[in-house]
Amino acid sequence: MIAVDFARAALPNEGALALLAMEGAEPAGLWAAADEACGGALRRAAEAAEFTGKKGQTCTVLAPGAGLSRVVLIGLGKEPDHTPLGMEEAGGSAAAALAKDSVAAIATDGMPASHAGHAALGARLRSYRFDRYRTKEGADAKPKLASLTVLTDDPDGARAAWPALDALAEGAPLARDLISEPPNVLYPAEMAERCRALVQLGLEVEVLGPAELTEHGFGALLSVAQGSAHEARVVVMRWSGGAPDAPPVCFVGKGVTFDTGGISLKPGANMGDMKWDMAGAGAVVGVMAALAQRRARANVVGLVGLTENMPSGTATRPGDVVKSLSGQTIEVLNTDAEGRLVLGDVIWYAQDRFKPALTVDLATLTGAIIVSLGHEFAGLFSNDETLATRLIAAGQATGERVWRMPLGDAYDKLIKSDIADMKNIGGRPGGAIIGAQFIQRFVRGPWAHLDIAGMAWSSKDAPTIPKGATAFGLRLLDRLVAEHFEPSA
């Protein structure tokens, strides 16, 4: 984890330096000063590399002079791109380009103080690595960047704004670690223990084990878990930072720590990806940690339904009928449509117990959503226009984009069962919608479902997201709380 500090904008005389260049603008401030100190080497390099400051462009100049080991020019694009998100992406690109230097600075002079923090957040997010199982990696292969100084016109302002962003920079790696852990290490009980550790941050954490789940009647969740040697857990994490009488917001995450598909076994190719079938739960844990860390002035409850979906002699069969916590019966026709069974019970429990103002669930629910939207947007399904609009806006602001998808009776009809209240599949056409319709049968009150199957894992590096677990949803939900459930400062 790189250490972040903010300092008054002045040219450093050693280490590496990242400079942010605006497209079509003459170099100014530290960019111009650095160039002058280096005898014009930076301009010459930029010209030779056809670097124009276009968004996403980078240009690295080694040992240009003035004691600097490396200067990286980062394209910020034109004025409309100079958003907090644009700064995060620039900070992320800078961190990637500066990974070989142990000490580095990034210049944000001429920008508001809050932009300095977003650049630092981007750098922190991009520097994430999951390397605890690399036992033979040499020091030279590891990134060296340990300390990043953000140069700004207003260091005090930047420092004051930092804790709220730092909370995100702490929550994201927590979520990414959970999502990245191999499934033999991270099974329901282990994940519950890691959630329990969050009491340090001031969260109240409660773990429901198999006995409590049986007693309450989490029949749908338990039907998924019954094929595995690992028992199920439901973890309830409460952050009570708001008015005592304010109804909470509930976030519910699908936490299938490994999904073989069960008796409806998946094909072998890429089955290893199914370790991140708990990415919804991972993001919920991450956002709860972030909210606690930044002492959010809102009441939020995070719930995760943790189970493993295995085929075995005790596993649920296609054709079985199970009774959910809500009392509704479900004909399980495909044991690989298990996430909705978990969510149905946990959402019902959350609403029953906490009477929330709204509920948002996150789940790597369907392959169909990937065929629908690919890796650009999560699918957003909601019974509430206000909530949907707010999530779309929060997604735009944080880069965790969501696209509204439809719900309706025509789709709900597809899960009618001949012998139970519903069946858990309804055919390939509209598969993600059918998953959402199923969940909706367990929903009372304003609700949104985010199908993040296409967004939970990235197959390539993005500016603020290294290849791997993304923690998608964490920032989106944090933003939703900050914008709409906390008193404005």
| Least distance to other proteins, CB of residue 269, Å | 9
Instruction: Pull the structure tokens for residue 181.
Output: 């852990």
Catalytic pick from 275, 340, 390, 401? 340
Number of residues that bind other proteins (CB under 8 A): 27
| Least distance to other proteins, CB of residue 71, Å | 29
DSSP reduced 3-state for 476: helix
Residue 173 binds to other proteins (criterion: CB under 8 A): no
Minimum CB distance to other proteins smaller for 368 or for 422: 368
Instruction: Pull the structure tokens for residue 171.
Output: 């929550």
Q: Which stretch binds other proteins (CB under 8 A): 9-17, 210-218, 330-338, 407-415?
A: 407-415
- Is 266 designated active site? yes
| Least distance to other proteins, CB of residue 433, Å | 6
Distance CA 286, CA 24 (A): 39
Q: The dihedral of CA 389, 393, 396, 399: what is its sign?
A: negative
Provide DSSP, 369-399.
HHHHHTTT-EEEEES-HHHHHHHHHHHHHHS
Please report how many Cα atoms fall inside a 13 Å half-sphere around the Cα of residue 282, on the Cβ side. Answer: 28
The closest alpha carbon to 222, from 337, 326, 305, belongs to 305
Residue 48 binds to other proteins (criterion: CB under 8 A): no
Distance CA 194, CA 174 (A): 10
- Binds other proteins (CB under 8 A): choice among 45, 164, 405, 481: 405
DSSP state of 122: H
* Gap between the terminal Cα atoms of the chain: 30
| Least distance to other proteins, CB of residue 89, Å | 14
Q: Which stretch binds other proteins (CB under 8 A): 36-44, 165-173, 292-300, 404-412?
A: 404-412
Residue 430 binds to other proteins (criterion: CB under 8 A): yes
| Amino acid in position 247 | P
| Least distance to other proteins, CB of residue 431, Å | 6
Q: How many Cβ atoms from other residues are within 10 Å of residue 79's Cβ?
A: 11
Minimum CB distance to other proteins smaller for 202 or for 429: 429
Q: The dihedral of CA 24, 25, 30, 36: what is its sign?
A: positive
- Binds other proteins (CB under 8 A): choice among 145, 414, 422, 439: 414
Residue 266 binds to other proteins (criterion: CB under 8 A): no
Q: What angle do CA 180, 467, 232 make, to 5 degrees?
A: 20
Q: Which stretch binds other proteins (CB under 8 A): 61-69, 85-93, 130-138, 431-439?
A: 431-439
- Is 355 designated active site? no
Residue 411 binds to other proteins (criterion: CB under 8 A): yes
Residue 446 binds to other proteins (criterion: CB under 8 A): no
| Least distance to other proteins, CB of residue 270, Å | 9
Tell the residue number behind the tokens 């965790």, with chain if given: 400
Catalytic pick from 194, 266, 404, 441? 266
The closest alpha carbon to 233, from 288, 276, 174, 193, belongs to 193
Binding mask 338-377 for other proteins (x = CB under 8 A): -----------------------------xx-xxxxxxxx
The closest alpha carbon to 165, from 7, 6, 55, 279, belongs to 6
Residues pairing with 256 in the sheet: 307
Catalytic residues, by residue number, are 266, 340
What is the contact surface with other proteins in residues (CB under 8 A)?
367-368, 370-377, 403-406, 408, 410-411, 414, 427-434, 454
